[in-house]
Amino acid sequence: MSDEIVYKTGGDLRLRRFWNRTSAVWAQPTVIIAAVLFILLTYLVIAPVIALSINSVQVGIRDNAVIGLEPGVFTLYFLKRVFSSGVSRVLFWAPLVRTLFVALMTAALALPLGAALAWLIVRTDVPGRRWLSSAFVIPYILPSWTFAVVWLTLFKNRRLGGLPSFAESLGLSPPDWLAYGAVPIILAEALHLFPFAFLLFGNALRSLDVQLEESARVLGASGPVVARRIVLPLLLPALLAALLLTFTRVLGSFGTPYILGSPTRYTVLPTALYSAFVTGSTGVSAVIAVVIILIGISLVTFDIVLVREHRRFVTIGGRGSTRRLAKLGRARTPTAIAVNLVFVLTTVVPLVTLSLATVMKRPGVFALHNLSPVYWLGATIPAMPGQRGLLLSPDIWHAAWNSLRVAGLAAIFCGLGGLFVGYAVVRLPQARVSRYLRQVSFLPYLVPSIAFAAAYISLFAVPRGIVPSLYGTMILLGLAMSVKYLPYASRTGISAMMQLGNEPEEAAQVCGASWPKRMARIVIPLLKGGLMTGALLPFITGMKELSLVIMLASPGTELLTTQTLRFIQYGYSQLADGTVLIIVAIVVVLTFLAERLTGSNLASGLEGGA
Amino acid sequence: MLHPWTLLMSVLLFSFLSAPRGPSGVAAPALDLQALIRDARAEGNLVVYHPSSRINVAGGIFEKMYGIKVRGTKMGDPEQAERVIREVDSGRVQVDVIHHEDGPFLEARLIPRGYVVSWIPPDMATVIPERYHSPLVDKVQPRIFTYNFETYGSACPISNVWELADPKWKGKVILRDPALTPANLAFFATVVSSPQMLDKAYRDLYGKPLELTEAPVGRIKNAGWEFLKRLFTNDIVVMGSDEDIGDAVGAAGQKAAPIGMVTLTKLRDNKAKNLKLGTCKTLQPFMGYALPEYVVIVKNAPHPNAAKLWVHFSLTTEGISTWTIADVGGFSANPRVPTHPDNEGTWTAWEKRLLPIDNKRSMGLRQDVLDFWLKYGAK
């Protein structure tokens, strides 16, 4: 009897304690936000990768037509086909080797170029430094495959057929190795990606304490010794970061190798994934996607370990007090010419080529009778049945509107996502959950774009439980983009919250301000700048995204970028070139406006997030 | 004066012969075209995936006739299959009708698994030859080897398909990428299934028996596999579209123009783009293959009546004229639709020089043919 009472009271107590604790927890909105984010991020980031992995050992409906097993049956057939069969060299090993080769060579070109330019602009008196430091970000702002399209317009040969290139119109016939395959792919990727190295090295050089170098000099070290023992180790993190960024970008890049590699069947992993996907080998494409993800994750892990090892030795002291710019002396003018030439080659030449190509009936024939506005303004276009000039084409307007909507959705989601992830990660008392949220919100960054899209198709193409299928919807495009770009925003959000600290909010709480009020009056206004950058970057990146959307867009949800690829596939090169120009115009104007509005330099955001 | 019995019998016989009949011989219900047009109009518009960019031209004609807007997208067979399966499985179907050229996949998977339905308008059942009924074909065209007549003169520089595998034409034979063009896989499968023909052609050309070196595991070596192997390893060039191949073969001013396989309709670019494309008329034992284009309605199509009306339209002169009358190259499945004067003969005449594709047998060989291509053709 008494036992029972004790038990009851104990139960009551326990219950009350539990109730008190939970109500305390639930009264604190951070926990609710964290709980929602926990579920949402797990679903949007982890689940797609799991679905993809399952796909790699499961028969798809189109696979079934070929191998005879019923759809849905589990099998190791695809693993065997990809890794050790009569065709695995063509399907996987050759593309793998090429991908690594292209990535290494791209880094070998882009890093020295970016580093040299950074050194000239930060450390020497080369004229026009201010202007150039913005100008060299432009190649990154252009869609990554702009250079590929330009290259074909300039150098393609008869192997590809279609309209002649500029070179052909001049009576030249570029050999295959120059027109297609490894050489142009590496060049195009390097020209697009050198701004990473430029920005990272530039910032590292700026924050390098000159006194360190000077002290070494005073102690009698020679120039090379200073470079080797002082400067290089201090620049190592920047070097590694640039290497990593370049490498992962190439790993997930689809447009450039597709456009330049297809004519000679120079397949790399992203294009191998795509062609397996298109030809209905769902299983094979899933296996390749998983491999790409694993490479991406191991690269980043490797980098994190290296940097952590490295950081133990390096503490970079503040700002170099008075930095003397190296005098170039007699070399000043030649250097200025060389540096400006890089700008001309990476930005002016591509854009001028594209513009010219869109008004020429036969590319590269500079004659008045060859010029025509028909590709921009024609009601019909000769030899392109059913097409209208770009500015009159409802398809283009529709695609532009779609691009704006999807990128806009991604921007809003990332802005809010960044805010909430930042708030939850910094304020949540439960360290383990906080760490999980931080890591999961960063994970999409490690998954190369095309593999990310494959994962999204695996999860969202069929109805699952209460979630209907999102195949062919704008929502799927917007969702994939939002989550893929979330790392830009969540990083900004977390660091901004860190700087904000607890005090202002606590003070408001003491004064009786409710949580919504605290958010609206204190947290959001203080975080505004960072959040804007965190939202704008996804917007601009989204406008020019191809690798991520190529498998997700469908005829109703065509974007400007996928429309460009369709034109290339049809052989309508003028229309493709013109659409690229439209994208460039939108992105450049937006970037300019964004910089004006936020008063910030987007380049700094690029470097932090991308 | 006719005997009443004779009269009665004549009437009966006449009515029996003239009554429209379905495939089973049972009188089919007549198509109420007016009702169909009315219902289709109520649905407002139509979405079509089609292998040709001229779908927009045909769409314009349809819109002018019926006031129904057509959104046509040019799309190859693999992407069509991918989209249709995803759309149907997801329950969010966006496309109504597809014009599909991958007959084997259509017959082996898309139709049996209910992704698409082949529907023949009842009033067309007696008009369209029975062999085009199931699945319904709206047009047929030759995909054939072509050459540049400016470079080589009035006769094709090759007369035997084995020359395509000869070192003389190394790197100068162009095909559509078989990995992306299933019809070419079906063509290869037919080649593999016609070994006697190729064996004889080899002896005719070289005057010696053919040495067989390879076939996929589990298959018997024959002249077909041998032809494919030698063709693929002759640095064969592949392109993504017939447009590109036509341009590459037919461009003016070439000294050593390649030979390429395109649909006959590419000859239209001789005018539009000043190409110099000629057909290899005397090529033995075949000029190319007969490529049927099927038209089927997607399951749960959002505009089912407009889709039916479109299928009907595709079998009429107005609907198919874009490909068969306005331009050279296509032949309507409807024998009453006139053909283009430059079509170089009737379809019956063409068929004698083309390999026919056997959908069922071709599906059984598909994986082996594809892997054979990947092994020897792709680098």
Confidence check: pLDDT of A401 > 70: yes
Tell me what pLDDT residue A602 has. Answer: 56
Q: Report d(CA A139, CA A194) in Å as an integer.
A: 8
Cα A51–Cα A476–Cα A558 angle in degrees, nearest 5: 125
Q: Is the pLDDT of residue A380 over 80?
A: yes
pLDDT at A383 over 80: no
pLDDT for residue A610 is more than 60: no
Mean pLDDT, residues B315-321: 95
Is pLDDT of A3 > 50? no
pLDDT digits (tens, 9 = 90+) for A489-548: 888 888 888 888 788 888 888 888 888 888 888 888 888 877 887 788 888 889 999 989
Nearest CA in chain A to B91: A469
Where on the phi/psi map is residue A324: left (φ > 0), alpha (ψ -120 to 50), or beta? Answer: beta
Q: Which residues contact B88 (CB under 8 A, 6 or more apart)?
A: B114, B115, B298, B299, B300
Q: Which residue has the higher pLDDT, A302 or A116?
A: A116
Using CB atoms, pick whichever of B78, B249, B367 lies closest to residue A66.
B367
Please name the member of B92, B113, B237 whose beta carbon is closest to the beta carbon of A472. Answer: B92
Comparing A18 with B271, the larger pLDDT belongs to B271
Q: ipTM score of the complex?
A: 0.78
More confident residue, B371 or A278: B371
Which residue has tokens 């007969």?
A: B290
Residue B19 has pLDDT above 70, yes or no: no
Look at residue B128 in the predicted model and tell me its pLDDT: 96
User: Residue B245 and residue A161: Cβ atoms within 8 Å?
Assistant: yes
Q: Which residue has the higher pLDDT, A236 or A309?
A: A236
Q: Which of A66, A87, A462 sits opposite B375 (nearest CB)?
A: A87
Per the prediction, chain B carries an average pLDDT of 90
Mutation target to probe the B interface, by most B beta carbons within 10 A, among A473, A554, A572 is A554
Question: Tell me, what amino acid is at A487?
Answer: P
Q: Which of A220, A207, A121, A173 is nearest to B251 (CA)?
A: A173
| Chain A environment of B243 (Cβ under 8 Å) | 161-162, 570-571
Q: What integer pLDDT is reported at residue B310 of this predicted model?
A: 98
Residue B210's closest CA among B191, B221, B219, B223?
B223
Q: Which two tokens stand for residue A493?
A: 């959000």
Q: What is the mean pLDDT of residues B92-111?
A: 95
Nearest to A160 among B83, B109, B244 (CB): B244
Nearest to B244 among A161, A278, A469 (CB): A161
Contacts of B83 in chain A (CB under 8 A): 472, 554-555
Q: Which of B78, B86, B251 sits opposite A461 (nearest CB)?
A: B86
**pLDDT per residue as tens digits for the range B319-358:** 999 999 988 999 999 999 998 988 988 999 999 999 999 9
B84 within 8 A of B95, measured Cβ to Cβ: yes
B72-86 confidence digits (pLDDT tens)? 988 989 889 988 998
Q: Which residues of A touch B366 (CB under 8 A)?
A: 65-66
Q: Hey, are the CB atoms on B272 and A64 less than 8 Å from each other?
A: no
| Contact call for A90 and B239, based on CB within 8 A | no
| Predicted pLDDT at B28 | 52
Q: Which residues of B touch A555 (CB under 8 A)?
A: 47, 49, 71, 73, 75, 83, 94-95
Q: What are the start-end ranges of the H helices in B207-280?
A: 223-232, 242-250, 269-272
What is the predicted pLDDT for the residue at B205? 96
Q: What is the sign, positive or negative, of the torsion defined by CA atoms of A395, A399, A401, A402?
A: positive
Residue A296 has pLDDT above 50, yes or no: yes
Q: Do B254 and A158 make contact, defined as CB atoms within 8 angstroms?
A: yes
Which residue in A158, A554, A571 is closest to B83 by CB distance? A554
The pLDDT of A427-447, averaged and rounded, is 87
Residue type, B260: G
DSSP class of residue B155 equals S
A275 touches chain B (CB under 8 A): yes
pLDDT tier at A227, thresholds 50, 70, 90: confident
- C-alpha distance from B334 to closest chain A C-alpha (Å): 24
Nearest to A110 by CA among A244, A19, A253, A5: A244
What does A90-154 look like in DSSP terms, one character per residue?
Answer: IIIIHHHHHHHHHHHHHHHHHHHHHHHHHHHHHHB--TTHHHHHHHTTHHHHS-TTHHHHHHHHH
Contacts of B274 in chain A (CB under 8 A): none
Average pLDDT of span B179-192: 93
Section B353-369 average pLDDT: 93
* pLDDT attached to residue A4: 47
User: Looking at chain A from residue 468 to 497, which residues have their Cβ under 8 Å from any Cβ of chain B?
Assistant: 468-473
If you count residue pairs, one on A and one on B, with CB atoms under 8 Å apart, how many are there? 148
All residues at 6 or more sequence positions from B49 whose CB lies less than 8 Å from its CB, including other chains: A555, B72, B73, B75, B79, B80, B83, B84, B95, B97, B98, B99
Q: Is the pLDDT of residue A160 over 80?
A: no
Instruction: Check residue B5 and give its pLDDT.
Output: 56
Which residue of chain B is at minimal alpha-carbon distance from A387? B56
How far is B170 from chain A, CA to nearest CA, in Å?
Answer: 13
Q: Which residues of B touch A462 (CB under 8 A)?
A: 89-90
CB B121 within 8 A of CB B272: no
Q: What is the pLDDT of residue A246?
A: 87
A365 touches chain B (CB under 8 A): no
What pLDDT does residue A27 have?
A: 57
Average pLDDT for residues B51-71, to the nearest whole number? 93
**Which of A158, A385, A569 is facing B56, going by the closest CB pair?**
A385
Residues of A in contact with B59 (CB under 8 A): 386
What mean pLDDT is reported for chain A?
Answer: 85
Task: Please give the backbone phi and psi of residue A559, each rounded to the nearest 5 degrees, phi first.
Answer: -105, 170
Residues of chain A in contact with residue B71, where contact means CB-CB under 8 angstroms, are 555-556
Euclidean distance between the first and the last CA atom of chain A, given in angstroms as a whole number: 68
CA-based nearest distance A272→chain B, Å: 12
In this model, does residue B14 exceed pLDDT 90?
A: no
Contact state of A384 with B53 under an 8 Å Cβ cutoff = yes
